[in-house]
Each structure stands twice: as C-alpha cells, then as structure tokens.
Amino acid sequence: MASTDNPRGYDNDLTHIIIELFANAKELKATLKANNIFTLRNLYAAVKKGDVRKHVRWKNGNPTGQEMITEEMFDDLLLVPSFLNWLQNLHGTLPDYPIDICADVTLRKFNMFLLLDDHGRGGKHGDGTVSYKQGRAECGECGGEVVPVAGSARALGAC
C-alpha cells in the first residue's frame, strides 16, 4: 500500500492516512517530516499541542510567513484523531475490537464524517471533535442494538 515516494520512517497507519485521505500530498508529507511526525501516535500528540500545530501549518511556526499546508488541509488533519475515534466508537471496544486503519479508513468515510455535525458524530464537546467512548463502542459491537450490560439490570439504549 505504501508508495515508493513516501519518506522512509512513516508507520503503515500514517502512510495509509496520507495516501487515502490526503491524496499523498507532497506538501503534507514535507510538513510532517519537518515536524518529526512519522507515526499516528506523533500525529495525535501534535494535534494536542498548539505550538506544534503552528509549526505544521506555517514555516518556522510564524503565521505571517510561508504556508506549509493549506488551511483546509490543516483543518482536516486536525480532525483525523476524532475521525479515528468516531470509527472506533462505531466498530467496537478497545482493546478487543480495534479498527484496522488500512481496511477501515477510506476517503468516503472521512468525507461522510466531515459532513456530520457534532450531534451526528456523537461528539459532546460542541466543537466537532469526538472522543473514544466505551459505552458507544459497546453499541458498535452489536450494530447499535439494545444489549443488556453484564451483571447489571440496566441496558444500553439504542445507539
């Protein structure tokens, strides 16, 4: 799946995301490389840190300087962790049912995620971001059906 023009050192998951969601964009690969983001774990960390986000978007981290990637690409990149959380919530609980990045992450699913509002994504933050939720992921395992919770009289509501 990895292209020969990808910089060496990217993990398979991040390589797939660059190719599938960002059409193997050279400017994205260059900015990730310049910021030592070679793994999905590094991408998650970078999204959380404001100073790293500035460096990913602007050369030398200076917003008055040269743009490294477009604003639209940057906004989409910031949503990748939420997209993966959303997929995981639909797929099942961790660590038992992890998503397979190379099989489950597609541009079609990402575009659908981008079209959803905060409520449609199952986000509770009001900013369109999605966190992994154990209860929602349990519903994902059963296809959203009402399932009794082991050792409890309550049941999960329809997801």
pLDDT of residue 49: 85
Note whether 27 and 53 are same-domain residues.
Answer: yes
Note whether 92 and 125 are same-domain residues.
Answer: yes
Containing structural domain, residue 65: 1-69
Token output for 44:
């998650």
Note the pLDDT tens digit of each residue in 19-59: 999 999 999 999 999 899 999 999 999 988 877 888 888 88
Closest CA to 13 of 32, 34, 35: 32
pLDDT of residue 8: 61
Total number of domains constituting the chain = 2
Note whether 14 and 62 are same-domain residues.
Answer: yes
pTM of the model: 0.80
Do 56 and 38 form a contact (C-beta atoms < 8 A)?
no
CA dist., res. 44 & res. 65, Å (int): 25
Q: Where are the alpha helices (DSSP H) in 4-70?
A: 12-22, 26-34, 40-48, 50-57
pLDDT of residue 159: 42
- Please state whether 134 falls in left (phi above 0), alpha (psi between -120 and 50) or beta: alpha
Note whether 15 and 35 are same-domain residues.
Answer: yes
Q: Is 67 helix (H, G, I), strand (E, B) or coil?
A: strand
Domain termination residue (choose one: 38, 69, 100): 69
Note whether 61 and 133 are same-domain residues.
Answer: no
